[in-house]
Structure 1
Amino acid sequence: MKSVSPRYGIAEWYGKDITSLTNHERQSLGLIAIKQEGGETQQAIPICPFLSNLIPGALCNKAGGVCSIRKIGTPDGTIGTIVPGDAVVTVCPSRFLQTLEDGATLFSWISEKMLDLANPTVVKETPFLRKISESQRDVETELDMQQEAVEEGKKAGRIDWILVDPKTISSPELSWCAVETQALYFSGGNMRVEFSAYASAPTEVLFPIGKRRPDYRSSGPKRLAPQLDVKVPVLRNWGKKVVVVIDRYFFANMNNLIDAYPRAKNEQEKRDNADVVWFVVDYAEDLKMKRYKVVYTSLESSRHALNATEPLSKTDFTNALRQVINSNNRQNKVFKASE
């Protein structure tokens, strides 16, 4: 039998390791995922075990319920087997809210590093940008419109999470930091084909039907980088830091992040000199989330790291251009301006 290359498939579904589910549970989740992805609201949507750490009883709000993906191989072209040692890829931002391996929460870890306290007040989805109007509005009207924007989900921009030192809430100056959680998109085959396959009958873990891959370019340079370009300069002027939470797979696809202050004697000095602080998490074998790395850096270094590309040399570019022009297989790319 011809060997088949591993493909990315479901790692965690509605907060559960797909390999730990029974055949009937996988079928049941397939049926739920199809309905949820189709926009149907139903009481059967499972509780999100990660978001529920903050909002008790919170239901999964991601269509299809896929929390993370990973490479899955196959011995026979049908049944899937996990590829050992390969990175798990986070595709839902709520996934980052799992309690860490030592019992701490993501936000307590961040707060200990950024605010020197373990129990911050956590604020979700705070509006950061507003649309500029051609007409003048009084403050009351402006506040009313901002509230409408929040309620309607039509904000021009927002900060995912803000961690606040509760002791400063009544003070003239709040002590806080901003937190952005960045999951990865994927490109290629839609997950609906997987949902349908599992929904059709009770089954073991299946070899993925669709071919897909994590899309770092869409998630990093195209989405996260512009957000940092807008938010970091403003917050830097306010004397506030921006934290970005990513997983190990995302981190591995970036260029190197340069320390904001290489000569720093301690983390306090690193933090004081940083614009952006990257908190990187990873998955243990049992898919429990764990600490991986903290990097204190600048906005400029973050831009460079997210780009993860560099220009070819003039020689390399010229040689590649000659190959395209001289190739017999590139007629659809090489033309004459006139006969």
Structure 2
Amino acid sequence: MSSHPLVEVFGFPINDFSEEAERHRRKKLCPYHNKVSFCTKDKANEPLGVCTISYEDQRLAITCPVRFRQDWIILEKAADFFFESGLKWTMFQEIRLKDKSGRSAGNIDFVLVAYDANGQVHDFGALEVQAVYISGNIRRPFEYYMANPEAHQDMVWKSGNIRPDYLSSSRKRLIPQVTIKGGILKAWGKKMGIVLHENFYSTLPQLPKVEPEEADIAWFIYGLDFNDQTKRYQLAHRQTVYTSFEPALKKITTPSPGNMEEFIAQLQERLDEKLDNMVG
């Protein structure tokens, strides 16, 4: 069992001391097709180069959206959903989406564009990549590790409860993405894909599924498999879940109610305290 939360730093397992891994740590490089060759997460000058953490009995959480770009398999899966076979396509990153009034609805992570023999747009689809927020200060163990990676790879780090914050990631990012961007794309009759790590997806309510040809949204679920030969983690497609827009949106935005009797008991306790104070 690991005594600290770090799994991958600057694209490599923290116990990988190959020349390539050490070069990436030394120069703060990103091997997963970032916009530039360097890691730019959190701060450009002092990037937080943590790609993946572990929590709760070695479960993994991908904490950087760029980590999903390994080998670009996320684009291939999305294109299979968006377009009929045989079409030529390309992709663009960070395309601004606007609502009817011209206000920004945010940037789409990837827009895949199919084009014809004359170079004209034939079709397009939008792909959003959802990593997870971290609860707790991950920068402290990261900086301690980076001060001497070989000596600190087996560090014991007990300060703070560092873990993925799936609830905030869903409420603050995933749900707004589906609601706002997905709503515009649905009105246009265009498809949307959402990339998630398997442990993030497992925290969502069970989504009502439809056949691929009936779907507005495809949820592309990925995991990380450790390769014993390369001694590195490989992004692997686990499953694709196909849904319609409205049922999926309703499912992820409708909370499961707790026990009302417990809530009433809490109110009664507060009421008893207040009445006792008034009598006193």
TM-score, normalisation: structure 1: 0.67
User: Which residue of 1 is the match for residue 44 of structure 2?
Assistant: none
Match of 2:33 in 1: 51
String of CA shifts for 1:211-251, please: whole Å, max 9, x gaps.
Answer: 21111111112211112111122211211011000000101
- Ranges in structure 2 where 5+ consecutive residues have no aligned partner: 42-46, 228-232
C-alpha distance in structure 2 between counterparts of 1:324 and 1:7, whole Å: 41
Structure 1: segments with no counterpart, 5+ residues: 33-43, 73-82, 134-145, 147-154, 262-269, 327-333
SS of equivalent to 2:122: coil
Match of 1:198 in 2: 145
Letter in 2 for 1:258: P
Amino acid at match of 1:174: H
Which of 66, 75, 81 aligns to 1:94? It is 66
What is the CA deviation profile of residues 293-315 of structure 1, one whole-angstrom value per residue up to 9, with x for unaligned ones?
Answer: 11111233333453484112433
1:87 touches 1:248 (CA, 8 Å); kept in 2? no
Aligned equivalents of 1:335 and 1:7: distance in 2?
46
| Structure 1 letter corresponding to 2:28 | I
2:128/2:195 contact within 8 Å kept: yes
Given candidates 217, 227, 231, the residue that maps to 1:276 is: 217
Alpha carbons of 1:168 and 1:256: their partners in 2 closer, same or farther (altered >3 Å)?
A: farther
2:2 corresponds to 1:10: no
Number of equivalenced pairs? 262
Higher strand proportion, which one? 2
Counterpart AA for 1:186: I
Deviation at 1:164, TM superposition (A): 1.3
**Are the structure 2 counterparts of residues 323 and 284 from structure 1 closer, same or farther at C-alpha, using a change threshold of 3 Å?**
farther
Measured at CA, do residues 336 and 254 of structure 1 come closer, stay the same or move farther in structure 2, by a change above 3 Å? Answer: same
Give the direction of change, closer, same or farther, for the CA distance of 1:114–1:313 in structure 2 (3 Å limit): same
| Cα distance in 1 for residues equivalent to 2:212 and 2:169 | 25
Q: Which residue of 107, 110, 133 corresponds with 1:161?
A: 110
Aligned counterpart, 1:266: none
Counterpart in the other structure of 2:249: 303
Change (3 A) 1:167 1:15: same
Amino acid in structure 1 at the alignment position of 2:32:
F
Mapping of 1:282-293 within 5 angstroms?
282-286=223-227, 287-293=233-239
Q: Which residue of 1 aligns with 2:230?
A: none
**Residue deviations 1:287-332, cap 9 Å, x none?**
2111111111123333345348411243343245446667xxxxxx
Instruction: Write the letter of the residue equivalent to 1:163.
Output: L
| Displacement of 1:127 | 0.4
- 1:113 aligns with 81
The one-letter code matched in structure 1 to 2:39 is C
Q: Closer, same or farther in 2 for the Cα pair 1:234/1:311, shift >3 Å?
A: same
Q: Distance in 1 between matches of 2:189 and 2:145?
A: 51
**Counterparts in 2 of 1:98 and 1:246: CA distance versus 1, 3 Å:** same
CA offset digits 1:267-289 (Å, max 9, x no partner): xxx23322221000011133211
- 2:80 equivalent to 1:122: no
Deviation at 1:71, TM superposition (A): 2.9
Given that 2:4 and 2:155 are in contact with CA atoms closer than 8 Å, whether structure 1 keeps it comes out as: no
What is the identity percentage for the equivalent residue pairs of Structure 1 and Structure 2?
Answer: 26
Q: Which amino acid aligns with 1:64?
A: L
Task: Establish whether residue 70 from structure 1 lines up as the match of residue 54 from structure 2.
Answer: yes
Letter in 1 for 2:218: V
Deviations 1:18-70 (A, max 9, x none): 12237xx78x94xx6xxxxxxxxxxx332x11116xx6x62212121111111
Q: Report the alpha carbon displacement of residue 6 of structure 1 after superposing the two structures with TM.
A: 6.3
Distance (whole Å) between structure 2 residues aligned to residue 163 and residue 304 of structure 1:
26
Task: State the secondary structure of the residue aligned to 2:15.
Answer: helix
**What is the aligned-residue RMSD (CA, Å)?**
3.3
Counterpart CA distance in 2 for 1:60 and 1:239 is 36
The AA in structure 2 aligned to 1:45 is K
Counterpart code for 1:283: L
Conservation of the 8 A alpha-carbon contact between 2:196 and 2:219: yes
SS at 2:168 equivalent: helix
Residues 1:170 and 2:166 are matched in the alignment: no
SS of the equivalent of 1:20 reads coil
Structure 1 residues 176-195: aligned runs within 5 Å:
176-188=124-136, 190-195=137-142
Q: 1:235 to 1:132 in 2, by over 3 A?
A: closer
Aligned equivalents of 1:298 and 1:8: distance in 2? 40
